[in-house]
Chain A
């Protein structure tokens, strides 16, 4: 069904000069352009973060390797973690949200378009500031260096005594700046979703992507602020002579850990919940059934949002808290696994009895389901405090969280790319290349991250630039590193597909997937104003109602 478009005189037939078009992108407050800016920005940093990971893996391919010095390695591991979380995962998920939310709720833009732009540029500037540290860090040897304190920047390693020069300050300030951007975006999401839904779209009728981004927004404003506060305290310590984390003056290193993880744990749920949103939009369309148990999906997500605020110290089980504290965080950690696991069952229920089409977006979502299952189960293992005393700080944990972030979030993101690329660009991607990307990346992912659990079980700690031979770790590290080759190949195929399809892909039309939410009513790409007339909806799947007037959803909801 084509939506009406309003003819804009003079808009067609004239190609504007490139400087004007670039300027357009720089000053834009249009949520669609900002969404694309976020996504492109993140993809660039994904490649950079991937290069850092490759350097790490090459160094670790054999014991006592000399590919990079320990100092460079420590910078690589810090930058890899910081980049991937703050300048890849968060911006790309914000980008998809920014692009999709107004379209899916029938609005013309976000509630605060200028705040939207401001938030993007703050995040972007934060990333550039962090990478400037490579030239401007002005360490003890004056050559400039990046932070090397790990992405959690534990105190007192970050104090002036142990981190000379300004490398730590780049970490702190870059994240403070991008944190402001994150909070701005979250405020925008919450306000838009609560205030700008089209007529007929009650909270119970909006797409799950909107619900989940609402929960995510709430979590961001509650979780990023503690990090901002802790970083302000760190700056006070480093520059105003404060003693927040100064153990020599009676300060507490554990306090930093608490503050950091009060941010850090909800942060990972901030990352996974939008990934859940993608699954909840894509799996139904390619199973040809509505999402199974919409109300429970919403309730489970809200539940996850609340409970996840109470689990943070499972990152601190080895710190020497007493047995009651350890028990408390064990039960909350295991408890948060319940609503999370339920969602897997709901997606399974959605596929059950359907007619599954194995297009590229669905392939990635199916990969997600298997991999997130495993990741969740290793998470339960890590939640059992005594088991954690063995596994924490080891490669088992590294394998676990990469399973969630790469096997879960990145797979969901690739699925989302392929699903919404036709809408954003107006062209279809190449299906063969898409499947090629999937299989290459799947093989590489499993080679690396399945086998990465083993060195952890065999006693290999994380964040080490080299390891001793004879401890049984060599072969696993070798396999893990080889997997990187396949993942890189997969990403290369992806980039090629993206670029080629942008210029040479088949025109996509409004609704290539025969889907049911509002964004598929507009042209591809949508016009600047999104909808000529604001739609009125009666159910959760407005397009289903239109395509199946004899069997509309609102009769059953």
Chain B
């Protein structure tokens, strides 16, 4: 009986340690743009899209657009990949990536649209 408990405890600890390291490795903190610039590590940021300054290169499929967060910091986001379908209607973008050489290189984009599914008034 004792051996079983020890064995179970060892497995839980081993799995726990393994899980904890995967957890911290894959964790992306949700920070302000200023903080993202300071850290240079993989983080998650959110800001309002400035639609007047969006550029998209068709051949290389690189999307560049500036976002401004609540604190007023503005940063250019660079995203390689297909422009999300609802991008032009989006107000805000959540970007996961790193701040590198003057721009935020996103490898994941989450687009926030003004949802009409929020009890709009008639």
Do A and B come from the same complex? no
